[in-house]
Amino acid sequence: MFYNDQPVDWLLEHLIYTKICNWDKAMKACKAEKSKLWVHYKPSLFQHIGTTSSLKGKIQKLKDKQFGKINNFYPHSNLAAYVKTNIATYKSYTLEKAYKGDKTGNFEHPSDILDSNTTVEVAPLFSKNMTQNGGKNSDNFIVIGRFNKFGIAEGTIDKNIGLIKELRLHIHVDSENWIILSEVMIVGTQR
């Protein structure tokens, strides 16, 4: 009804005020009742875009610093392993941190991911003529998975392959973007 006259957050606040508060309640009691009903969500679900306000003639220069920061990282612990890379690291964002389960990378750069041009490969401890659905490379690595468009790779190792000597992420083409490798989680099965 008043959407042309006031921003939606003001309308919502006014709706709650009229339902909870009445003229004979003290403002302090009214605020306490409203705070029980009002939901605060961090990070924000919505963000003001641009500088045009819904109030005529007003310029908005607002940006919620927490908006869009999704906690999609789940700390974990992998088995002890020697971890190495030939890719240069940026600041303190190292492969070791991703493997140990420390937070690295962020979601403000959605294109900085490994994609389908990257395979997950393993080398068996004992050289056998084993292959898996993905095939075997000339350097005895077996392809067990490939990254998807979301930058996530999963793979299962055939138990006939035996113990694993090495796991690698093989990037097959040059990338125009940086790559943020934010998590390496390896789940083994009990023997």
The type of residue at 138 is S
Is a pLDDT exceeding 80 seen at residue 49?
A: no
Is a pLDDT exceeding 80 seen at residue 107?
A: no
Whole-number pLDDT of residue 185: 80
CA separation for the pair 173, 159 (Å, rounded): 30
Q: What is the mean pLDDT of the chain?
A: 77
Is a pLDDT exceeding 70 seen at residue 169?
A: yes
Task: Name the token pair of 69.
Answer: 């920061």
Where are the extended beta strands (E) located within 23-162? 118-124, 142-146
Is a pLDDT exceeding 80 seen at residue 157?
A: yes
Give residue 108's region: left, alpha or beta (phi > 0; psi -120 to 50): alpha
Q: How does pLDDT run across 52-106, given as a tens digit for each residue?
A: 676 677 777 776 666 655 555 566 778 888 888 888 888 877 888 888 776 555 5
Angstrom distances, CA of residue 85 to CA of 11, 89, 154, 167 = 54, 9, 20, 12
pTM: 0.55
Q: How does pLDDT run across 7-34, given as a tens digit for each residue?
A: 777 888 888 888 888 778 888 988 888 8
Is a pLDDT exceeding 70 seen at residue 129?
A: no
